[in-house]
Structure 1
Amino acid sequence: MLGFLVAATVLLEAVSATSLGVVSTEGGMVEGKNIRLGSQRHMDVFKGIPFAGVPGRFEKPSRHPGWDGILKATDFRDRCLQLTVLLNDVYGSEDCLYLNIWVPHINSVATNLPVMVWIFGGGFLAGASFGANFLDNYLYSGQEIADRGNVIVVTLGYRVGSLGFLSTGDAGLPGNYGLWDQQAAIAWVHRNIRSFGGDPSNITLFGESAGGASVNFQILTPHNKGFIKRAISQSGVAICPWAVNKNPRKFAEEVALKVNCPTDHNMAKCLKMTDPKALTLAGTINMSGSPDAPLVYNLVLSPVIDGDFLPDDPSELFHNAANVDYMAGANDMDGHIFTGLDVPSVNSGLIDTPIDEVKRLLASLTKEKGTLGSENAFSTYTLDWGSKPSRETVKKTVVAIETDYLFLIPTQAALYLHASKAGTGRTFSYLFSEPNRLGGIVTPFPSWLGADHADDLQYVFGKPFSTPLGYWPSHRAVSGYMIAYWTNFAKTGNPNTGNLSVPASWPAFTSNGHQFLEINSKMDSSYVQQKLRFRYVNFWTSVLPNLPTVYSE
């Protein structure tokens, strides 16, 4: 009898399996894969839906011509052509403008759900819509967010490296092709997501690092009017020092010389005819840094002010985001991965980091203000040192300097600009501080390491739930908190209000209060604070800019 009941239950579940089936889109019919997640919980997963045609070399994307029959959207498509990790070869394809969609069905077929669109990071040089993977476990699988938050998750591909961001600084090669790809995907989602059970009037962008900056660019450009309701930038905004290249011509000429193209008025024409793999290889960057030449200055394949996608400096475009709800934050040691390349001694527990290296790093980051800038910076960062700072204090200070300069201060400045220009848009600020899981266990991760760059990704995408053996209960706690805040925000514009309960009520960031939430596994209501690193924010945004400029490129 028991066997009969089990069989009947399985049969009923199969008959009532909640699925969209074949979906009609502007390009044609698509069919994904339906998976059962639990009683009355199913999900349709669509992988590799084209949102644009194969892009022309150094051209904006165009609409996909469409297809006949039913497109089986069951496998991720190639990443865009890019350098390998060792920067000595390339992989991927120019045919790469595809997106992936996770649609949860809880009790009934999804209708009118909020939509969260993910933009991956990777320094505008690398990355893919599905992220790193190990044994079919993809970092950017939207399954946990979609299932737990009852939202649709979309991840998209875009051109990176030379093919996505090379620019001659004029009409020959205006640049920003990767940003136009992202914009084409957002527009496609706006036009088509209703067929997948989504609400086109409630689209939230979210992204990390270069993806976080991209999210910011997408709400600042005038080309997305009416498409985006909310946005989340994790460890990256449009005003980060690495996010805009103010002198793209210099690097374009370097690339041209590497591929035997002239650097005169024929440069753009020649580059367009050059082998794409050779172009990608020529767009490599120097990954070594030093206190005198920090790695950040090598990140030159990035967006440009082109007079079209970005009609002005990003800091002047925040009025375009006045009615977009915006949430942004950084990790408390976001700069560690870069500091390890610029000042390698920070990762050695056995040797001191010379004070001279701290001074040289600050001199590099404030070089346009000369000696006065570096002296002011040094006194700001050593105010609490006392006469004999410990080895750990000095190392933590160096990490704080790069964290502030690269991520935290620009994020605070962007939040302030958003709040000061806000119409209906609300502003929320956070600091993520869950310690790195490898701190003190694996070299080069010191025992005092907080949240390093990209440490937040595993929690936002619910890895402690999907791969539980790799995590402790505390990691599942912080992952649950982040998914709750992120999806509540996507639903309502308020991270506290939605289907999921949260451990602390997160107040909005205002131009005079500067409230923020610190997020980690131990958090409670006392983790609501204000004026994050105010002394340092004041130095970088007020004191330093007002010193006389003695040097410029």
Structure 2
Amino acid sequence: MTILAKLILLIFCTVPIYSIQTPSDPIVQLPNGKIRGLNHGSYFSFESIPYAEPPIGENRFEPPKPFTGNWSDIRDATKSPPKCMQWDQYLFKEDLLDGQEDCLTINIYTPSIGGNKKYPVVVLIHGGAFMFGTADQSGHDYLMKRQDTVVVKMNYRLGPLGFLSTGDDVISGNFGLKDQLLALEWTKANVAAFNGDPESITAFGFSAGAASVHLQMMNKNFEKIAKRAVSLSGTSFCDWVIMKNPARRAIALAKHLDCPTETSSSIKLCLKKKKAADIVRAVSKLQNIGYNPAIVFGPVIESKTVSNAFLSEHPENIIKSGKSAQIPWLASYSKDDGGYNAAELMQQDSNGKEMIEILNDRWNELAPVNLFFENSVDENQLDAYSNSLREKYLGNKRFSAENYKLVQNMYTDLLFANGVRNAWKLHKQYTNSPVYAYVFDSPAPLGIGQMISRRFDISFGTVHGDDFFLMFKSPVPVPFSKTQVVQSETFLNMVGEFNANGTLQFADCKFRENNANTNGFYVMEIKPNSCETSNFENML
């Protein structure tokens, strides 16, 4: 296997009772029993702690149930958790199936155990398009080695097992989001056993994890769990987040698995009897080019008949009505975020022809699905809207490798920038809690664009994750440039200070608060060797 091939394959790709510790064998007492973790020298880890009953058998396609098991022996919490079963974009092989259905666990990393010291807590919700990913995909070492912080990471259900919905109260959907909420509640109740401060929790997410954090904020009671929130490159206003007409996807999946589709109950009964692997493998039948659409199953607005729904109205209405959580929120995007979705178009076939050429003949067919505006544009207007986008970004140019950057700009605006800006605008108009904003414009030498395109002869700009992986370690072991070393340290100081004290600053640049009582809208621009906060009211 070549070095390049190896590199590509590495990518992402109740109240506690008491705590005791010995230097080499940290042990924590939880209500369920004792657990043993690992001593890493500068911090302790406790992994694969169950927070919910296994979502298998009759629990499949149901809201999570709090874990009620007990153990008398000391439970081993030193092993990394398995992935939740998924169709993983980053396996780089024909069969993308990975993980297992019994997967609802939580990881905790703490600077110390025992004593009276309490640390602020960062709860990270991983990304992965609601389709793939795992608690382990983003390393915590940077924060643990530089900040006095407890880091919590969780697994939650993904793809059809986490987000299938029949659009009614039979298969309500949003199971992955309900898993996240239960994990957050577990953290609030138990993190003190790990020297975490349950009154100082920051919810932190990137990409689909960022949108998840924003969706958690749509519940007013979230104020009782988290004191601050961070969303990098994703909000609930991005078109790829809220799925429209989810029953259509549920029926399509059922048909591929030879299930009856006359009623939602018949779909559910049949799918509960199917192998989880067969359900997840069927994702490929609902994609059209490569791993597109990247999100086949995602969050939905649940039926009014669903009891204890996670989301029963659109986030826009929730924010306007004042029912969202009023906590400080930092939201951002990268200048070329769309490279994550667009870079696949630069993959070459055996003849050296780029996938982007396919769009010339199939644009009106593929654009609404792959760019997710079928969720926001009336069906009879889809062709007209597709054509207007092509004209706006390409003029009379063809889809080609030479014009790729124009296409990437379109993807950035439609999939990330517009959704983040719209969320900024709504929070600024209707909430009194602080909203902070930045745009990151500092390309990484090697990023998601190169990985997904499988090409290293293209500069994709500042792509999805170029800021996040300065804070949480990327699965790809790429050394930082000198600029990135400085930026990483600055970002970590920013996160640590925000998490501990609620103040927000990047190097010498102070973030300006935006809310309903301020004039203008202030956005920080972060570049390779500078940062500047300016009034960007026109961005909204």
Shorter-chain-normalised TM-score: which range?
0.7 to 0.9
Q: 1:314 to 1:341 in 2, by over 3 A?
A: same
CA apart distance, 1:373: 4.9
**Alpha-carbon displacement from aligned partner over 1:98-146 (angstroms, at most 9, x marks no partner):** 111111149x957221110011111111111001xxxxxxxx2323213
Which residue of 2 is the match for residue 544 of structure 1? none
Which residue of 1 is the match for residue 464 of structure 2? 453
**Alpha-carbon displacement from aligned partner over 1:276-295 (angstroms, at most 9, x marks no partner):** 111111233655559xxx94
Which residue of 2 is the match for residue 531 of structure 1? 536
Which residue of 1 is the match for residue 83 of structure 2? 79
Q: Is the 8 A contact 1:477 1:521 kept in 2?
A: no
Question: Kindly, what percent of the aligned residue pairs are identical?
Answer: 29
Aligned ranges 1:473-488 → 2 under 5 Å: 473-488=482-497
Aligned ranges 1:429-440 → 2 under 5 Å: 429-438=437-446
**Separation in structure 1 between the aligned mates of residue 360 and residue 491 of structure 2, nearest angstrom:** 37
Q: 1:252 to 1:350 in 2, by over 3 A?
A: closer
1:88 and 2:95 are equivalent in the alignment: yes
1:273 and 2:278 are equivalent in the alignment: no
**Separation in structure 1 between the aligned mates of residue 278 and residue 361 of structure 2, nearest angstrom:** 38
**Separation in structure 2 between the aligned mates of residue 419 and residue 220 of structure 1, nearest angstrom:** 15
Q: 1:259 to 1:95 in 2, by over 3 A?
A: same
What SS is found at the alignment partner of 1:284?
A: helix
Which residue of 1 is the match for residue 38 of structure 2? 33
**Alpha-carbon displacement from aligned partner over 1:443-469 (angstroms, at most 9, x marks no partner):** 6356542121233332111569x96x8
What SS is found at the alignment partner of 1:516?
A: strand
Larger Rg: 1
What SS is found at the alignment partner of 2:217?
A: helix
**Alpha-carbon displacement from aligned partner over 1:459-514 (angstroms, at most 9, x marks no partner):** 111569x96x8222211111112112222222222212xxxx72322222346422
Which residue of 1 is the match for residue 328 of structure 2? 325
Structure 2 gap ranges (5+): 1-20
**Separation in structure 1 between the aligned mates of residue 277 and residue 362 of structure 2, nearest angstrom:** 41
Give the counterpart letter for 1:453 in structure 2: H
**Alpha-carbon displacement from aligned partner over 1:21-66 (angstroms, at most 9, x marks no partner):** 3212222212211222xxxxx3111111111121211111112122
Give the counterpart letter for 2:281 in structure 1: L
Which of 27, 49, 57 is 1:22 aligned to?
27
Which of 193, 199, 202 is 2:200 aligned to?
202
Which residue of 2 is the match for residue 101 of structure 1? 108
Q: Is the 8 A contact 2:223 2:325 kept in 1?
A: no
**Separation in structure 1 between the aligned mates of residue 334 and residue 285 of structure 2, nearest angstrom:** 25
Q: 1:18 to 1:154 in 2, by over 3 A?
A: same
Q: 1:506 to 1:321 in 2, by over 3 A?
A: same
Q: Is the 8 A contact 2:223 2:327 kept in 1?
A: no
Q: Is the 8 A contact 1:20 1:196 kept in 2?
A: no
Q: 1:19 to 1:115 in 2, by over 3 A?
A: farther
Which residue of 1 is the match for residue 168 of structure 2? 170
Q: 1:92 to 1:376 in 2, by over 3 A?
A: closer
Which residue of 2 is the match for residue 50 of structure 1? 50
What SS is found at the alignment partner of 1:327?
A: strand
Q: 1:370 to 1:103 in 2, by over 3 A?
A: closer
CA apart distance, 1:20: 9.4
Aligned ranges 1:535-546 → 2 under 5 Å: none
**Separation in structure 2 between the aligned mates of residue 147 and residue 67 of structure 1, nearest angstrom:** 32
1:60 and 2:56 are equivalent in the alignment: no
What SS is found at the alignment partner of 2:509?
A: coil
CA apart distance, 1:189: 0.2
Q: Is the 8 A contact 1:509 1:516 kept in 2?
A: no
Aligned ranges 1:105-184 → 2 under 5 Å: 105=112, 111-131=117-137, 140-184=138-182
What SS is found at the alignment partner of 1:429?
A: strand
Which residue of 1 is the match for residue 238 of structure 2? 240
Q: 1:197 to 1:523 in 2, by over 3 A?
A: same
CA apart distance, 1:211: 0.9
What SS is found at the alignment partner of 1:127?
A: coil
Q: Is the 8 A contact 1:60 1:177 kept in 2?
A: yes
Which residue of 2 is the match for residue 316 of structure 1? 317
1:302 and 2:298 are equivalent in the alignment: yes
CA apart distance, 1:94: 1.7
Q: Is the 8 A contact 2:200 2:227 kept in 1?
A: yes
**Alpha-carbon displacement from aligned partner over 1:240-265 (angstroms, at most 9, x marks no partner):** 11111121111111111122210012
CA apart distance, 1:188: 0.2
**Separation in structure 2 between the aligned mates of residue 350 and residue 169 of structure 1, nearest angstrom:** 41
Which of 189, 192, 210 is 2:190 aligned to?
192
Q: 1:66 to 1:224 in 2, by over 3 A?
A: farther
Which residue of 1 is the match for residue 3 of structure 2? none
1:516 and 2:523 are equivalent in the alignment: yes
**Alpha-carbon displacement from aligned partner over 1:150-184 (angstroms, at most 9, x marks no partner):** 11100100011111111111111111111111111
Give the counterpart letter for 2:282 in structure 1: A
Q: 1:93 to 1:374 in 2, by over 3 A?
A: closer
**Separation in structure 2 between the aligned mates of residue 236 and residue 99 of structure 1, nearest angstrom:** 23
CA apart distance, 1:82: 1.4
Q: 1:148 to 1:271 in 2, by over 3 A?
A: same
What SS is found at the alignment partner of 2:101?
A: coil
Q: 1:152 to 1:110 in 2, by over 3 A?
A: farther
Q: Is the 8 A contact 1:359 1:378 kept in 2?
A: no
Which of 485, 489, 506 is 2:498 aligned to?
489
Which of 382, 397, 403 is 2:412 aligned to?
403
What SS is found at the alignment partner of 1:519?
A: strand
Scaled by the length of structure 1, what TM-score is found? Answer: 0.78
1:336 and 2:339 are equivalent in the alignment: yes
**Separation in structure 1 between the aligned mates of residue 446 and residue 497 of structure 2, nearest angstrom:** 30
CA apart distance, 1:377: 5.0
Q: 1:430 to 1:359 in 2, by over 3 A?
A: farther
Which residue of 2 is the match for residue 5 of structure 1? none
Which residue of 2 is the match for residue 216 of structure 1? 214
What SS is found at the alignment partner of 2:410?
A: helix
Q: 1:462 to 1:488 in 2, by over 3 A?
A: farther
**Separation in structure 2 between the aligned mates of residue 285 and residue 403 of structure 1, nearest angstrom:** 26
**Alpha-carbon displacement from aligned partner over 1:527-547 (angstroms, at most 9, x marks no partner):** 223328x4xx56xxxxxxxxx
Which residue of 1 is the match for residue 17 of structure 2? none
**Alpha-carbon displacement from aligned partner over 1:182-211 (angstroms, at most 9, x marks no partner):** 111000000001111111111111111111
Q: 1:206 to 1:219 in 2, by over 3 A?
A: same
Deviates more, 1:79-88 or 1:204-213: 79-88
Q: Is the 8 A contact 1:415 1:427 kept in 2?
A: yes
Give the counterpart letter for 2:409 in structure 1: A
**Alpha-carbon displacement from aligned partner over 1:321-370 (angstroms, at most 9, x marks no partner):** 3421111111111111322345779xxx999x99x959957985676446
Scaled by the length of structure 2, what TM-score is found? Answer: 0.80
Which residue of 1 is the match for residue 425 of structure 2? 416
Q: Is the 8 A contact 2:256 2:285 kept in 1?
A: no
